[in-house]
Structure 1
Amino acid sequence: MDTVGRLKLLCRNARHDAAVGESMPNPKPPSPVGDSLWPPLLAFLALQLLLLAPEWWLPGGSWLQPAIAAEALLVMGLLLGLTRREAGWLPPLLGGGLVLVVALALSDLAAYWSLGRPVNLYLDLPLLASVEHLLTGALGRVGGWALLLAGGVLLLGLAAGAGLAMRALMRHHVGPRRRLLGALLVAAAVGVYAMRNEWPVGLHFAAPAVDRVAAQGERVLATARERESFARALATPSAPAGPASLQRLQGRDVVLAFIESYGESAVRDPRYAPVVQGALEQLAADLDAAGLSVVTGLLRSPVQGGQSWLAHGSLLSGLWLDNQLRYDLFLASPRSSLIDDLEAAGHHSVAVMPALTAAWPQGRLWGYDEVHDYAAIDYAGPPLNWVTMPDQYTWHYFQRAVREPASEPVFAELALISSHAPWTPILPVLPDWSRIGRGEVFGPWADAGPSPGELWRNAERVRAHYAQAVAYALRTAGAWSGRYLGEEALLILLGDHQPAPLITGEETSRAVPVHVVSADPSLLAPLREFGFMAGVLPPEAPNGRLDDVRGWLRAAYGGGPERGVAVAPSTAQ
């Protein structure tokens, strides 16, 4: 081949090589981010925050104690030490698990600050409907559902984002040094988990996800065991076969009125005492002016912050019904209640429940002759956020529609709800009860005061409204008693439970004041033997529990106390 031919051949090869080179991707230079420590470090810190922040906010927790979660070390060790081919399934699994743990942690946090106890999935899943009802009542249907939807979207977004972020940290190829780092992190996680309860490791290290899931499992198992033991105890004939006849109460109306969230803190806490004790002084003045006497006790409630029906049920049954399981088992048993005791004494039993906006089959199981729920109460006034009607109307309706038409003595349970959160608006007690009618008179207060959303942005303002709401409930009860209780009646006016720990603070007593009122001092005298004191102020220390009341009434007014269920205190929270 001559020189010209060789040159042509070289040119063709050069053009071919250039074309191939243009079609092939250029090799990328090593990315500085790929070898950077920042992505795994930031992922580690984010994981730490998700796992540990609820621990810092729980009652008794403190900022940055603990500071490192064993699970975060374990996850980072696996992500750094394994390839995508070896464990490509790991990121979505860990992302889903992280969301479940975070949801449990947030549920525990919400339950502690609202109910003073952790979540128990065995008991609390049915309460989801109550949460929705409370949110929509406080924030409106749109606001409540928007908040629930936002929470669901947030959890789904967290699951997806966590899975993608974890996958991004994994490599197609993992070198020896990276595998060594991953192994060291896994070993550190195992060591931290093994020594998390030892000092001083426990001050700074924890395994919050493992411990939370384990605690939830223990609560569920304990509740399942309790179902069997409490059911057996209820089936044991350890009590009189039938109800007692409370002979000394024959011919007298008996009114059992629960004031929502009226607890010991309202009377003792310096933030609330000036307002609430002023209302108690007015209550005492109204009773004294009507020739009525009062004694007061301080009894422990089985609940705090919510689930009022467990407090009601404990008093009525004479048994400590501190969880939904016990409540349901009691209603399914043949045991009698205070309702049966008073019906045996000739009373017509009535429940006035203005907060019940749905069917209440438990009313039939308790055995009430009549249940007056929201639908049955002819209220034409405005709803007041969560509160369907003010206490003054509830008392007015009870007097007009229940007591006055009755042809026989009445036993009535009233649920007074004006002191239920969100504690806005605050109404005055109208002096002219004859003008109340069907409640239209309360129209001017439909939009009075701040909205719940506005009020709850300021914690101090919320607490001030709480005290005013309890004071309104007490003043209204005093105004009704002074006008209408009469000489032949017995009133038991009490709180159902303390408000949420958000209002009372941590480690607060669960005791509630119990006022017993009558025009006949001889009816109150036997209660002094059980620790009740003359006047409207409660004793310094609790003198019993709500489940004691039924036995005390039986002992004081005839028939003798019913022996309680021979079973250990509840282990289910």
Structure 2
Amino acid sequence: MPVFTRLRQLPDPTDPVSGDPSPEAGPASAPEPAAPGARNAPRAWPAALRDRHPGTVRAARWTVTALAAALVLGALLLPNTSAALRPNRFTRVPVEAIIGAAVLLALPRRRPRQAVAALAGLALGAMTILNLLDMGFTDYLGRAFNPVLDWELLDDAQSYVRDSMGGAVAAGAAVGVVVLVLLVLGLMALATVRLGNLLDRNRRTATRATLVAAVVWVLCSGLGLELMGMPVASDRTATALRIEVRRVRDTLRDEAAFGKEARSDAFGNTPGSQLVPDLRGKDMIFTFVESYGRSAIEDPITAPGVDRTLDARTTALAKAGFHARSGWLTSATYGGSSWLGHSTTLSGLWIDNQQRYRTVMAGDHLSLTKAFRKTGAWDTVGIMPGVQKAWPEAKFYGLDKVRNAFQLGYRGPKFSWSTMPDQYALEAFQRLEHGRKRDKPLMSEIILTSSHQPWAPVPKMVGWDRLGDGSVFDAIQKAGTKPSDIITSPDRSRAEYGKSIQYSVTALTQWLERYGDDDTVLVFLGDHQPIARVSGEHASRDVPVSIVAKDPRVLDRIRSWGWTDGLRPAHDAPVWKMSSFRDRFLTAYGSTPHPKEG
């Protein structure tokens, strides 16, 4: 072949297609062949962009890398409570980053390194999601998320949002949560892969930097050095992982241990004739007031109004011949999961999680309400305006009949989550059950829901003879505060919460004035404290409990308890665990223990 011909076949350094590859592409990259007849076609857009704006491309790359590093470091240092979200939490050196860099540098091949980096990113993303769940559960329920038991509560959370804010908001929130989870997992995996590739391209420098970081971490840890009040050496993610593993292990162990505990019962073999003999002939009413906690009586914002209401209602009841004594119970739950408080009070067992609740509901442990049914001397009924689906728990509670939200005749508006105002539910109870002639006295379990978060709008009292089918509440509901108006304001939420407790207590005690008689005995209490946004970050789990009756012998039976006279318990009144109430109550009113072994 002539020399001239051979020279023509050499690449033209000025040709944008056949010229030397961009320095940014590295020695391994090769130019793409031009299509036939398109020798002078422009280079593909990424390469062209690199050629025309190399500084911009380089800055973008380093920006993305910096964001990836910030995302990974932030996830490694992220606390699991919103109260701990402070700048000093993110000024530490995470040992997990050092170990991760060392592992990636030790892998000799590209594909295994990228696979390990992606898996590490997914694991870190999962830990981030657990930390976010811990934040939410701590703010609302006063405890961390349990990865074994609490997934089913997410469905309850969606139902709460739907009932409080509407179906569109609930659907949007559900979609948002799914998108957030996918973004966290995907971005974390991409970030760790990118950082792994950066380590490989700069292996020598990265190795030296990793060794230096390891030495610095060990020295800071050994010397206990702090920056902005926090240790410089951090093992936050490793510690969180150990806690999660321990939580799972303890949950699995607790399931077996609690099963045996639930099968034991101090009154399990007591015959009906020896249960609550000192209350025979009394109409017994056990009422739970939603979110009625110690904060309602002692918080600076809510207490003035609630205390005035309790004192005024104590005086009004006394004029009607009723007297009360009140104390404190420490609830098994906080901020929500009301059924745990109900079941703990009535079973005498400490039921603070879903697994324990399922275990008790499936067994034959004697509930306080079932004790009345076992005597054969009472009819039993449940008034459950918050129940909107099948409720098999009625069997455990020993209720002959349950009236749910759809069986009380209500035709008025919902008040956020609450299906109907407490005043209407109580009037329906009177009309459908308590006011009917019967051969036996009545034992009732009533759940009042108007004080359920988000406490907007709050119902107002109307004339008892105006209640009708509940339509009278239309104007009150429309004129009330909207949840969106208060949900971001702790102070407004606390104020509206206090109003809701005032309303519920007023409705209940006015009902007692109106319909109670010499043989009516009312036991009412809160199921749990309101959420931390209202009760405070370090609030107790205490709730008020009161027993009200006309017959002085009823209150004489609990004189030794040391409770406060009236509806407002003193600050230093006795505090018992909620699980102790059943046995104390049964004993006070003459029940004879006949233990059943587990």
Do both proteins adopt the same fold according to a TM-score greater than 0.5, normalized to the shorter chain? yes
Offset at residue 316 of structure 1 (A): 1.1
Q: How many angstroms apart in 1 are the aligned matches of 2:369 and 2:164?
A: 33
My pick for the range that moved more, 248-257 or 30-39, is 30-39
Q: Alpha-carbon deviation of 1:319? A: 2.0
AA aligned opposite 2:508: A
Letter in 2 for 1:29: P
Could you say which residue in structure 1 is the equivalent of 2:356? 326
1:307-322 equivalence runs, <5 A: 307-322=337-352
1:48 to 2:73 alignment: yes
Structure 1 position 552 matched with structure 2 position 577: no
The answer for the alignment partner of 2:201 in structure 1 is 174
Partner in structure 2 of residue 260 of structure 1: 290
- Report the equivalent of 2:258: 230
* 1:564/1:209 CA distance change after superposition, 3 Å: farther
Corresponding residue of 1:4: none
Aligned counterpart in structure 1 of residue 237 of structure 2, from 209, 213, 235: 209
Letter in 2 for 1:429: M
SS at match of 1:420: coil
Decide whether aligned partners of structure 1 residues 320 and 161 sit closer, same or farther in structure 2, where only a CA change above 3 A counts. Answer: closer
Cα distance in 1 for partners of 2:164, 2:490 equals: 16
Deviation at 1:345, TM superposition (A): 5.8
Residues 116, 304 of structure 1: 8 Å contact kept: yes
Q: Which amino acid aligns with 1:168?
A: R
**3-state secondary structure, aligned to 1:540:** coil
Give the Cα separation in 2 of the matches to 1:172 and 1:261: 54
Mapped partners of 1:323, 1:165: distance in 2: 37
Q: Distance in 1 between matches of 2:222 and 2:378?
A: 60
SS of aligned partner of 1:297: strand
Quote the residue 1:433 is aligned against.
464
RMSD after superposition: 3.0
Aligned twin of 1:383 = 414
Instruction: Name the residue aligned to 1:450.
Output: 481
Quote the residue 1:410 is aligned against: 442
The superposition leaves residues 543-567 of structure 1 with CA deviations (integer Å, 9 ceiling, x where unpaired) of 312222222222222124677999x
Alignment match, 1:570: none
Q: Distance in 2 between matches of 1:337 and 1:196?
A: 55
Contact map agreement 2:78 2:128 (CA 8 A) in 1: no
Given that 1:239 and 1:563 are in contact with CA atoms closer than 8 Å, whether structure 2 keeps it comes out as yes
- Percent of aligned pairs sharing the same letter: 29
Matched, 1:491 2:522: yes
Output aligned runs, 1:490-509, within 5 Å: 490-509=521-540
2:23 aligned with 1:29: yes
Preserved contact between residue 319 and residue 564 of structure 1 (Cα < 8 Å): no
> Residues 562 and 95 (structure 1 numbering): CA distance in 2 closer, same or farther, change over 3 Å?
farther
Question: 1:441 Cα shift?
Answer: 1.2
Q: Distance in 2 between matches of 1:473 and 1:564?
A: 38
The answer to whether the 8 A contact 2:324-2:565 is kept is: yes
Structure 2 portions without partners, runs of 5+: 25-53
Deviation string, structure 1 residues 153-193 (Cα, Å, up to 9, x no partner):
1221222223333333415963453342464277469849x
SS state at 1:257 partner = strand
Stretch of structure 1 that moved more, 519-528 or 551-560: 551-560
Residue 335 of structure 1 aligns with which residue?
365
Mean Cα displacement is larger for which, 130-139 or 257-266?
130-139
2:91 maps to which of 67, 73, 78: 67
Q: Which residue of 2 aligns with 1:392?
A: 423
CA distance change for structure 1 residues 40 and 76 in 2, over 3 Å: closer, same or farther? farther
**With structure 1 as the length reference, what TM-score do the two structures score?**
0.89
Question: Secondary structure at the residue paired with 1:17?
Answer: coil
Name whichever of 363-372 and 491-500 sits farther off.
363-372
Structure 2 Cα separation of the partners of residues 196 and 299 of structure 1 = 45
Deviation at 1:442, TM superposition (A): 1.0
CA 1:399–1:209: 2 relative to 1, 3 Å: same
1:543 is aligned, of 551, 571, 575, to 575
Distance 1:307 1:198, change over 3 A: farther
8 Å CA contact retained: 1:530, 1:543: no
Q: 1:214-270: CA deviations, max 9, x gaps?
A: 212211211211121222233346545135421221111101111100101110111
Aligned residue number for residue 119 of structure 1: 145
Aligned residue number for residue 281 of structure 1: 311
In the alignment, what sits opposite 1:15? 8
1:516 to 535, 547, 554: 547
1:144-155 correspondence to structure 2 within 5 Å? 144-155=170-181
Q: Are 2:226 and 1:218 aligned?
A: no
Map 1:454-465 → 2, pairs under 5 A: 454-465=485-496
State the alpha-carbon separation in 2 of the partners of residues 456 and 399 from structure 1: 34
8 Å CA contact 1:73, 1:186 repeated in 2: yes
Indicate how the Cα distance of structure 1 residues 506 and 565 shifts in structure 2: closer, same or farther if over 3 A, else same.
farther
What amino acid sits opposite 2:428 in the alignment? Answer: Y
CA distances 1:192-224 after superposition (whole Å, capped 9, x unpaired):
9x9599675962333232222221221121121
Change (3 A) 1:67 1:333: same
Name the CA distance, whole Å, in 1 between partners of 2:563 and 2:205: 71
Displacement after TM superposition at 1:79 (Å): 5.8
- Pick closer, same or farther for the CA change 1:63–1:166 going to 2, 3 Å: closer
Maintained 8 Å contact 2:102/2:207: no
Native 8 Å contact 1:66 1:204 kept in 2: no
In structure 1, C-alpha distance between the alignment counterparts of 2:175 and 2:260, rounded to whole Å: 42
Which structure 1 residue ranges, 5 or more long, are not aligned? 1-7, 567-573
1:37 CA displacement: 6.6
The residue that corresponds to 2:41 in the other structure is none
Q: Deviations over 1:306-351 (max 9, x none)?
A: 1111111112112222222222222333322212321216111111
C-alpha distance in structure 2 between counterparts of 1:171 and 1:129, whole Å: 42
Moved more, 531-540 or 493-502: 531-540
Residue aligned with 2:140, SS = helix
**Residues 348 and 225 of structure 1: CA distance in aligned 2, closer, same or farther (over 3 Å):** same
When residues 98 and 379 of structure 1 are mapped into structure 2, their CA distance, relative to the original with a 3 A threshold, is: same
Amino acid in the other structure paired with 2:79: P
User: In 1, distance between residues paired with 2:505 and 2:264?
Assistant: 41
Residue 134 of structure 1 and its aligned partner are, at CA, apart by: 0.9
Give the distance between the partners of 2:215 and 2:501, measured in 1 at CA.
53
1:69-218 equivalence runs, <5 A: 69-75=94-100, 84-169=110-195, 170-171=197-198, 174-181=201-208, 183-184=210-211, 187=214, 191=218, 195=221, 203-218=231-246
In terms of mean alpha carbon deviation, does 30-39 or 499-508 score higher? Answer: 30-39
Supply the distance in 2 between the matched residues of 1:115 and 1:406 (Cα, whole angstroms). Answer: 42
Q: Tell me if the contact between 1:530 and 1:552 (Cα under 8 Å) persists in the aligned partners.
A: no
